[in-house]
Amino acid sequence: MSLLLSMFAYPFIVRAFVVGALVSLCAALLGVPLVLKRYSMIGDGLSHVSFGALAVAVACGFAPLWFSLPVVMLAAFLLLRIAESARVSADAAIAVLSASALAVGVIVTSLTTGMTTDVDSYMFGSILAMSRSDVTLSVTLAACVLALFVAFYHQLFAVTFDESFSRATGVPVGMYKTLLSLLTALTVVLGMRMMGAMLISSLVIFPALSAMRLFKRFRSVVIFAGALAVVCFCLGLAGSYLLSTPVGATVVVCDLAAFLLCAALGRR
Amino acid sequence: MDGQILLACRDVSLGYEHKPLLEHLDFTVWSGDYVAVLGENGSGKSTLLKSLLGLTPPLAGTVYRNAQKKGELGYLPQQTPAQRDFPATVEEVVLSGFLNRKGWHFAYTGKERSEALMHLGKLGILELRGKCYRELSGGQQQRVLLARALCAAKELLILDEPVTGLDPAATQDLYKTLRYLNGREGVAILMVTHDVDAALREAKHILHIGQKRWFYGTAEEYLRDESGRRFDAARRIGGVL
């Protein structure tokens, strides 16, 4: 126990703890409508775009966070538009975008700095990556996401459950979908440097899936997903400190364990 | 016919990007009416529906959506695969019908809750209110969505192929429910359907759209009309085969 408490003596771990817990919470909340609307892979696609943007930013000497944020938000907005046009299916659009962004990122990196530890930490995350501005940004993000879910809970439910009915009865569906995807983009950009581009999408998908095994009410699913995500992140962070394993992978393993547990409980 | 005009098309053309599927469409839905919309696939039924709901403007002409302007339009869309395993209780789904009432919706009022329960009772599914939507049968799910549509409106219901995917018993149940809502509660119904038999039996008026021409009239008039005779004959042959 004292060993666990001693980890908070390191400022970088405190920062990682704050950012990680808040990002996990946001990702889980946003994940419920995304998973239910069959946009599970949007987090994965956006994280690869974020990787490409980071590589370009590092190569050109831009501030990584402030360059990748607008790029990923734009990608999220585009993905939504493409998915709505119905000419290309959403999963194909995400796959195309994520592979292209990854390819651009890899080419830019190999032409400039080469495949260094920097690239490795973008792909699989690093606990050292969180700065002060990340903390400020994640607190703001969490406030926005929580405000959205508290104030517009019923509208979010209606849009998630049945878009055409909501549209016909005058709910501004487009606005809510845009908000959801922009907030998802923010969450992904903030979380990926700690969790890693390959692993961040699990924060979006796992808690929603686990909660859906156990609960029948939409409200319970949302609340449980958020709570479970924070618990899993704390366990993962502690585990990674004790076992000296990468934090992103450890959190994902915790999420997987929680999902298996929920699936087993839900079957009874 | 007396009563109010709930929905009307005046000289409306429908289609995609200047390629009209249908021109000079002209019909009226009065309060208490029961209209069945028939037509082959690709004839423009879903485009018509979108225009009636105000989601896409027609190429030409005017759609008067009086019922929708009063917030008295309920809509029963086709179910999507994503909905069938949705984690939500029947009560949560039905209450979401009230969102069309303008204003801030932080929580549903007690009046809205009791009205929702009343609609559930009317459709005979009150005992399902705490159940999970994904655990219901197709017919029960359709009733839940009908109850939600009734929460949204009591004057006009627009139904998009409501019996698709239902077994014969559930189909007959649904038609019975619609007959009750139309006859006893005075709800006007506009239903897009492929079920010609049921349309001729249940509806007061038939709107047939297809290949640049359209027909609007009663079931008897429809059977005398050329497009009705052809559609009916094709159906009989299809039935024999």
Phi first, then psi: give them for residue B193, nearest 5 degrees: -155, 160
Both tokens of B36, joined, read: 């069945």
Q: What is the pLDDT of residues A49-61, one digit of tens each?
A: 998 998 888 888 8
CATH number belonging to domain B14-72+154-241 = 3.40.50.300
Q: Does A36 touch chain B (CB under 8 A)?
A: yes
Q: Which residues have a Cβ under 8 Å from the Cβ of A23 and sit 6 or more positions away? A: A138, A141, A142, A187, A190, A191, A194, A195, A203
Return the top range by mean pLDDT from A77-81, A112-116, A174-178, B194-198. A174-178
Q: Say if residues A72 and A185 touch (Cβ distance below 8 Å).
A: yes
- State the pairing for strand pair B34-38/B188-192: parallel
User: What share of chain A in percent tops pLDDT 90?
Assistant: 47
DSSP state of A253: H
pLDDT at B215: 83
Distance from C-alpha of B140 to C-alpha of B48, rounded to nearest angstrom: 28
DSSP element (H, E) containing A51: helix A42-60
Chain B closest-CA separation from residue A236 CA (Å): 28
Alpha helices for chain A (secondary structure H): 2-6, 11-36, 42-60, 64-85, 90-111, 117-124, 132-151, 153-161, 163-168, 173-195, 201-214, 218-243, 247-267
Q: Which of A155, A162, A221 sits opposite B87 (nearest CB)?
A: A221
Kindly indicate whether the ipTM for this predicted assembly is greater than 0.85, answering yes or no: no
pLDDT at B239: 45
Q: Give me the total of CB pairs closer than 8 Å, taking one residue from chain A and one from chain B.
A: 80
Average pLDDT rounded to a whole number, residues A95-110: 89
* Residue A247, amino acid: V
Q: Say if residues B10 and B26 touch (Cβ distance below 8 Å).
A: yes
Decide: helix, strand or coil at residue A135: helix
* Residue A219, amino acid: R
Q: What is the pLDDT of residues A203-245, one digit of tens each?
A: 999 999 999 999 999 999 999 999 999 999 999 999 998 998 8
Burial of A66 (0-12, 13-18, 19+ CB in 10 A): exposed
Mutate to test the interface with B, among A169, A171, A175, A217 (most CBs of B within 10 A): A169
Q: Return the domain boundaries, chain A.
A: 2-267
Q: Does B88 touch chain A (CB under 8 A)?
A: yes
Chain A closest-CA separation from residue B96 CA (Å): 6
Mutate to test the interface with A, among B96, B135, B142 (most CBs of A within 10 A): B96
Q: Which residues of A touch B94 (CB under 8 A)?
A: none
Distance from C-alpha of A51 to C-alpha of A106, rounded to nearest angstrom: 9
Decide: helix, strand or coil at residue A241: helix
The confidence band for A120, taking pLDDT boundaries of 50, 70 and 90, is: confident
Q: What is the pLDDT of residues A81-100, one digit of tens each?
A: 887 776 777 778 888 888 99
The confidence band for A163, taking pLDDT boundaries of 50, 70 and 90, is: confident
Mean pLDDT of chain B, nearest integer = 82
Phi-psi domain of B186 (left: phi exceeds 0; alpha: psi -120 through 50; beta: other)? left
Alpha helices for B20-65 (secondary structure H): 45-52
Higher-pLDDT residue of A142, B220: A142
pLDDT at B216: 86
Decide: helix, strand or coil at residue B169: helix
pLDDT at B241: 38
Decide: helix, strand or coil at residue B24: strand
Q: Say if residues A201 and A47 touch (Cβ distance below 8 Å).
A: yes
Q: Does A213 touch chain B (CB under 8 A)?
A: no
Please state which architecture CATH assigns to domain A2-267: Orthogonal Bundle (1.10)
Mean pLDDT of chain A, nearest integer = 88
Which positions 65-84 of A are in contact with B (Cβ < 8 Å)?
Answer: none
pLDDT at B235: 63
The stretches in chain B having pLDDT less than 70 are 1-2, 70, 101-105, 226-241
Name beta bridge partners: B62. Answer: B10
Phi first, then psi: give them for residue A124, nearest 5 degrees: -120, 5
The sign of the CA dihedral A33, A39, A43, A44 is: positive
Positions of CATH 3.40.50.300 in chain B: 14-72+154-241
* Percentages (nearest 5) of helix, strand, coil residues in chain A: 85, 0, 15
> Among candidates A76, A111, A110, A68, which has minimal Cα distance to A93?
A76
Q: Which of A155, A168, A216 sits opposite B53 (nearest CB)?
A: A168
Q: Say if residues A194 and A244 touch (Cβ distance below 8 Å).
A: no
* Residue A92, amino acid: A
Rounded alpha-carbon distances, angstroms, from residue B95 to A106, A201, B90, B151: 50, 32, 9, 7
Q: At what angle do helices A247-267 and A11-36 cross, to 10 degrees?
A: 40
Distance from C-alpha of A70 to C-alpha of B86, rounded to nearest angstrom: 33
Distance from C-alpha of B36 to C-alpha of B34, rounded to nearest angstrom: 7
Sheet bearing B188-192, strands edge to edge = B73-76, B156-160, B188-192, B34-38, B205-210, B213-218
pLDDT at B101: 64
Q: Say if residues B202 and B179 touch (Cβ distance below 8 Å).
A: yes
Q: What is the pLDDT of residues A16-44, one digit of tens each?
A: 999 999 999 999 999 999 999 888 888 88
User: What share of chain A in percent tops pLDDT 70?
Assistant: 97
Distance from C-alpha of B222 to C-alpha of B205, rounded to nearest angstrom: 9
The confidence band for A268, taking pLDDT boundaries of 50, 70 and 90, is: confident
Report the residue of chain A nearest B132, measured CA to CA.
A216
> Among candidates A62, A102, A60, A98, which has minimal Cα distance to A79?
A98
Average pLDDT rounded to a whole number, residues A129-149: 90
pLDDT at B240: 42
pLDDT at B232: 67
